[in-house]
Amino acid sequence: MNKRIYLDYAATTPVKEEVFQAMKPYFTEAFGNPSSVYSYGREGKQAIDTARKQVAKAIGSKTDEIFFTGGGSEADNWAIKGIAYANKNKGKHIITSNIEHHAVLHTCEYLEKEGFKVTYLEVDEYGQIRIEDLKKAITDETILITIMFANNEVGTIQHIKEIGEIAREHKIYFHTDAVQALGNVKIDVNELNIDLLSVSAHKVYGPKGVGALYVRKGIKLFSFIHGGAQERRRRAGTENVAGIVGFGKAAEMATENLEEHVSKIKKLRDKLIDGINERIKYVRLNGHPTDRLPGNVNFVFEFIEGESLLLSLDLIGVAGSSGSACTSGSLDPSHVLMALGLPHEIAHGSLRLTIGDFTTEEDIDYVLENLPKIVDRLRMMSPLYEEVLKGGQK
Ligand SMILES: *Cc1c(COP(=O)(O)O)cnc(C)c1O
């Protein structure tokens, strides 16, 4: 088989063998409906209880503060719309940032059509919101602050604890999309003053289509899926038992060896960042140099298109991304890169490579050996680069 190297862990991750093994019985012999009273049902119910404990432990919450959903997008939608509709008599103002995942941004845009007011905070050149801007944006009408824990494209981590403190002082709910943070940053919802938090299984070596929303005890939230009494009457529908079991196992594995995992991934990330900086001219790292996800590498390569770079990498078996997988197929540069202040034509030359548990040092060597050649070849076809060569030094 031809060589294949996966460097798109921010888009999704493979299900780990242990996770898969934990899930398997719930498709076949332990298939009962968790709402049924006989033993088949009880098996399913117990398995969900265990998974709820595992996810709660991974973020430092209580078990009954975890509600399973159909993924990270649903958790984001639920948190934001749920708080908005439950508190619209108190106020109709929401604060977010302009680098959020579309699951947050498009939900906020939808609420604007419903009569809510949304402030989209700008970020600095590294992708962090300014705490001063947040303070200034707060009004008597503000009911929710939703700021992502870590960005999926450029890897920037926000000052979550400070944001949580400000929200707490003003008695405003604080939601964070922690889909990229789980398994990469230590999360403790109490220490960080977080009221609602979204996570997703498939970003932490669990299955796709399952996630969870943490809701601090006592917080009223609108529900949107009406029917049976599942998830303590907050989200109806027969549970995705196998998926939830897989998420529980994955969340446990992702957080029990967190430091070891982080230091291993970081080493590979830094080798790739340093290697690119040493070997290729006219490049720039996007995102924050240190407040950064351990596996995120995102570079601008001047004079070339990220899409061409991706295709050339695909030809040698390397899978990366030119921004967010959700936006590829569209020709506009990503909203995140634009928010960092990159000019349009430069933002187009971006490449994201994200490292995970199965990445090896050899994988990084292979990329470092081949990427400079690809970049050279693509630049040779660029009229802009020709100008640079003619003009000597840029
Ligand atoms: C992947 C992702 C989501 C969406 O999660 P799904 O489970 O794919 O719906 C939301 N936010 C961030 C930051 C993500 O990376």
DSSP string, 18-77: HHHHHHGGGTTTT---TT-SSHHHHHHHHHHHHHHHHHHHHHT--GGGEEEESSHHHHHH
Which of 248, 189, 182, 249 has the alpha carbon at shortest distance from 219?
189
| Tokens matching residue 125 | 């050149």
pLDDT mean for each 10 residues of the chain (394 residues): 90 98 97 93 96 98 98 98 98 98 98 98 98 98 98 98 98 98 98 98 98 98 96 96 98 95 97 98 97 98 92 96 58 88 88 97 98 96 86 64
Q: Is residue 354 within a helix (H) or strand (E), and if so which, with residue range?
A: strand 350-354
Domain extent listing, the chain = 5-13+258-389, 17-256
Q: In what order do the strands lie in the sheet with 142-146?
A: 66-69, 211-215, 196-200, 173-177, 142-146, 93-97, 117-121
CA of 247 to the centre of ligand 1 (A): 14
Query: Does residue 202 have a known ligand-binding role?
Result: yes
Residue ID of nearest Cα to ligand 1 atom 12? 179
Which atom, in ligand 1's list, is nearest to the CA of 210?
7
From 9, 152, 208, the mutation candidate for ligand 1 (largest count of ligand atoms within 8 A of CB) is: 152
Q: What residues contact residue 86 under an 8 Å CB cut-off, 6+ apart? A: 220, 221, 222
Q: Is 206 part of any known ligand binding site?
A: no
The pLDDT value given to residue 257? 86
Q: Is 156 annotated as a binding residue?
A: no
Identify the residue whose C-alpha is closest to ligand 1 atom 8.
72
Separation of 183 CA from ligand 1 center, angstroms? 14
- Round to the nearest angstrom and report the end-to-end CA distance of the chain: 42
Distances (CA, A) of 279 to 70, 183, 371, 375: 43, 31, 9, 10
Of 193, 161, 153, 181, the C-alpha closest to 323 is 153
DSSP state of 109: H
Whats the size of the chain, residue-wise? 394
Closest CA to 350 of 328, 322, 377: 322
Q: How far is the CA of 62 from the centre of ligand 1 (A)?
A: 23
Cα separation, 152 vs 140, in Å, equals 31
Question: Which residues contact ligand 1 via a Cβ below 6 A?
Answer: 71-73, 76, 101, 103, 148, 152, 177, 179-180, 200, 202-203, 211
Cα(174) to centroid(ligand 1), Å: 18
Probe ligand 1: pick from 76, 101, 153, max atoms within 8 Å of CB? 101
180 is in an annotated binding site: yes
The hierarchical CATH code for the domain 17-256 is: 3.40.640.10
Cα separation, 257 vs 319, in Å, equals: 26
Do 17-256 and 5-13+258-389 fall under one CATH topology?
no
Fold of the CATH domain 5-13+258-389: Aspartate Aminotransferase, domain 1 (3.90.1150)
Q: H-type helices in the chain, by residue range?
A: 17-23, 39-59, 72-86, 102-113, 131-137, 160-169, 230-233, 241-256, 258-279, 306-315, 335-339, 344-347, 361-380, 383-390
Specify whether the CB–CB gap between 203 and 12 falls below 8 A: yes
Q: Which residues of 156-189 are buried (b: 16+ CB within 10 A; e: fewer)?
A: bbbbbeebbebbeeeebbbbbbbbbbbbbbebeb
Q: How far is 43 from 288, CA to CA, in rounded Å?
A: 46
Specify the pLDDT at position 326: 43
Query: Is position 326 annotated in a ligand binding site?
Result: yes
The residue nearest atom 3 of ligand 1, judged by CA position, is 72
| Residue 72 CA to ligand 1 centre (angstroms) | 5
| CA of 101 relative to ligand 1 center, distance in Å | 7
- Catalytic (active site) residue 326: yes
CB atoms within 10 A of CB 347: 23
**pTM of the predicted protein model:** 0.96
d(CA 9, CA 378): 25
Mutation pick for ligand 1 pocket among 157, 177, 184, 324 (CB with most ligand atoms within 8 Å) = 177
> According to the annotation, is 201 in a ligand binding site?
yes
The closest-lying atom of ligand 1 relative to the alpha carbon of residue 73 is: 9
Catalytic residue among 137, 236, 319, 326: 326
